[in-house]
Amino acid sequence: MTDIAVKVVPGAATDEIVGWRDGALKVRVTAPPQDGRANRAVEALLAEALSLKKNAVTVAGGLRSARKRVAIVGLTQDEIVRRLAVDPPRNSA
């Protein structure tokens, strides 16, 4: 299992993966942040983008925060970056 940091923008116009920003994957989802809907949308978006089953992607931390920890089963960090075809994570200095 691999954990990645994800910055979520709920209530966006479209569901999309923006890319890596400040060491976290930034995603936008149309779902509102109420009742865990944005969390479920993030899980579905990442599972689809990574070609994984929905239950392989879980918001494991930050359930009520914009910054979340997402657990991904079956892929390494390098495989995640490659499958998302986005720039690799980098920390701001």
Give the pTM. Answer: 0.88
Closest listed residue to residue 44, CA positions, set 59, 36, 31, 54: 54
- Report residue 93's pLDDT band, with 50, 70 and 90 as the boundaries: very low
User: Rounded to an integer, what distance in angstroms lies between the CA atom of residue 42 and that of residue 52?
Assistant: 13
DSSP-based three-state secondary structure for 18:
strand
Give pLDDT, residue 86: 56
> Can you tell me the mean pLDDT for 21-50?
95
At position 79, the amino acid (one-letter code) is E
Structure confidence at residue 92 (pLDDT): 46
Question: Which of residues 88 and 61 earns the better pLDDT score?
Answer: 61
| Buried/exposed code over 24-44 (b: 16+ C-beta within 10 A; e: otherwise) | bbbbbbebebeeeebbebbbe
What mean pLDDT, rounded, does the chain reach? 90
